[in-house]
Amino acid sequence: MTAPGDEMMLGPTLDRLQRIALFVGVVGAVLCLIGVFVDRDQFLRSYLYAYMFWLGMAMGCLGVLLMNHVVGGKWGVVTRRLLEAGARTFPLLMLLILPILAGMGTLYLWTWPEIRAADKNIQLKSGYLNVPFFLIRQAVYWAIWLFYAWKLVQKSNEQDVTGDPGLMIRMRQISAPGLVIFVLASTFACFDLMMSLEPHWYSTIYGAMFIADEYLQAFAWIIVILFLLSKRPPFTRILTIQHFHDLGNLLFAFTILWAYLAISQWIIIWSGNLPEEIPWYIRRFSGGWGVIAVILLVFHFFVPFLIMLSRWVKKTPGLLAAVAVYMIVIRWIDVYWIVEPAFYQDEFKKLHKMVFTMSWMDLAAPAAIGGLWIFMYIWRLKQRPLIPLKDPRVLGEPRTMVSGL
């Protein structure tokens, strides 16, 4: 249970992190504003990939929250507030998507009248790829995400007040269909915001691969936050080594799932060898982008796979948190590798000139969005008790505590 004063003890830690995040976010935002005037096209490209990375963090938090309510697990007790705080950042992200919507005419080829008039492939997809329907779909996705985030938090708050054990069943009843709806909404949002950058290309695995990475990203994030807060109440009274072990296993599982989906997509496209599919990989295997592809293969799968095979790593919170930070960085590189080469489509017939380049805005944009997101995340986290007050699973928790952290 959360004792009075627990949140006050955590206050200085969270306040310090929040101030740092706000400073980074403001500095990044100022640099992005400068970037708009220096090179608007580059700003939009950098902003899109940065936005998708941090949107994936919030989507992952909501997805993991829905999953835990469906499947259960004691790790849900110590992570529920952390996941709910992530899900409650959607209003901020809904505001931050406005530059992307305003810049659609620059980012998405299928919005260009001259391209639409000359490209029969895009014409055939015009029933789906048109601006009004795109905006309607965005409204539907956001309505779904905001509804489930609000509904689950509402029931969680109600449980804190009443202690009604039936609310656990009610949250499961909400989350079971919600998980299916969430996956569908997230898949199509991924299609719209990322895959449609290259309108000739398509992959049915693309959405599933992105969702697996969202879950991986969310598990990595909550492992880091749990470690940072583990030495202070209320976590010193409830957090155990087994919680970290369970979360490490889940991080490990979604690392394998991502690798399975990514390799499956590559094998299917390679074996099909169709002209509308292979350019996606040719762009990402050419020049310096190919180096990043190798880095992702080695460091997004093989290295964490070998590290997390060890139970010792997953039962050593400091090491597991270091692995989690590492996975967040790799995930950031992955999103960059997926999004940025889409803007080099004119270079498809001049691959020898297609070299890896990186703008300073590629660093400023994730700093801006990330700083603001983390500021909002901590603000949400501080608004409520860090442990569900009357969750039935809190009672009788084992006391193999993490005193050696």
Helix 166-193, helix 40-71: angle, nearest 10: 150
Return the domain boundaries, the chain: 6-344+366-394
Mean pLDDT over each residue of the chain, to the nearest integer: 90
More confident residue, 15 or 223: 223
CB within 8 Å of 183: residues ≥ 6 apart: 63, 211
Is the pLDDT at 42 greater than 60? The verdict is: yes
Is the pLDDT at 392 greater than 80? The verdict is: no
Mean pLDDT of 257-285: 89
334-371, pLDDT tens digit by residue?
A: 999 999 999 876 544 444 445 677 899 999 999 999 99
- In the DSSP assignment, the letter for residue 404 is T
Q: Work out the percent of the chain whose per-residue pLDDT is above 70.
A: 92
Residue 186 pLDDT level (bands cut at 50, 70, 90): very high
Residue 9's pLDDT is what? Answer: 57
Residue 394's pLDDT is what? Answer: 67
More confident residue, 286 or 218: 218
Whether 210 and 194 have beta carbons less than 8 Å apart is answered as yes
Whether 188 and 137 have beta carbons less than 8 Å apart is answered as yes
CA of 365: how far to CAs of 99, 210, 334, 384, in Å? 12, 20, 16, 30
Residue 395's pLDDT is what? Answer: 54
123-147, pLDDT tens digit by residue?
A: 999 999 999 999 999 999 999 999 9
More confident residue, 392 or 139: 139
Residue 352's pLDDT is what? Answer: 44
CB within 8 Å of 275: residues ≥ 6 apart: none
Q: Work out the percent of the chain whose per-residue pLDDT is above 90.
A: 72
Mean pLDDT of 320-325: 97
Is the pLDDT at 297 greater than 50? The verdict is: yes
225-268, pLDDT tens digit by residue?
A: 999 998 888 888 889 999 999 999 999 999 999 999 999 999 99
Residue 288's pLDDT is what? Answer: 82
60-88, pLDDT tens digit by residue?
A: 999 999 999 999 888 999 999 999 999 99
Least reliable range by pLDDT among 78-87, 154-163, 232-241, 309-318:
232-241
Whether 348 and 282 have beta carbons less than 8 Å apart is answered as yes
